[in-house]
Amino acid sequence: NFRSEPGIIGMVNASFPSVMAPSDPDKGHEDYEARFERLDSRKATEGVTPRFVYLELPYRGRSGDGERAAGPDARLALRDPAECEAWEVARIVRDAVASGSLLVADRGAGRARPARFSDFAVLLRSTGKQVHFEKYLRLFGVPYSSENACGLFSEAAACALYYALRLALY
């Protein structure tokens, strides 16, 4: 897309043909299978270097017999993977803005500038983990807004009430 630097588009073009290959190479793609189409990119922004961050969730800390892990990583076993993910994303955003280390393209000026909080978006597949992200964004002092507030209501009854009120409003 127009927001992505050419380095990101290059990585997608290099890796996605194998990721989106047909399940049966002899028959080709099934009608329901997505097909990869090579992406075009815009001109690179001078001073911006694309980077990828690999996040790995901590080992849950249980052996095959159900015993908890011991040693220095035992405390990580107590945390929910969704909380670990949310904590790390919030930390990355806060640190990138605070340090000015992440440069992004300023389309209006045609050059790189340090990232602002408004340059970040966290896209979630569902609202199930939203409450964790909101918790850690608040904890790290990262301003945010949410498109869907249902993640705040993790109980089914509260979520149903939210949608009933929303229905009455609209």
Confidence of residue 91 (pLDDT cuts 50, 70, 90): very high
Mean pLDDT of 116-131: 89
| Per-residue model confidence (pLDDT) at position 70 | 54
Mean pLDDT of 98-126: 90
Which of 70, 78, 88 lies closest to 140 in space, CA to CA? 88
Which of 52, 56, 104 lies closest to 81 in space, CA to CA? 56
| Per-residue model confidence (pLDDT) at position 88 | 93
DSSP code for 117: G
Spatial separation of the C-alpha atoms in residues 3 and 107, rounded to whole Å: 9
Mean pLDDT of 44-66: 71
| Per-residue model confidence (pLDDT) at position 60 | 58
Does this model's pTM top 0.95? no
- Polymer length in residues for the chain: 170
Mean pLDDT of 153-159: 64
CB proximity list for 115: less than 8 A, separation 6 or greater = 96, 97, 100, 102, 103, 104
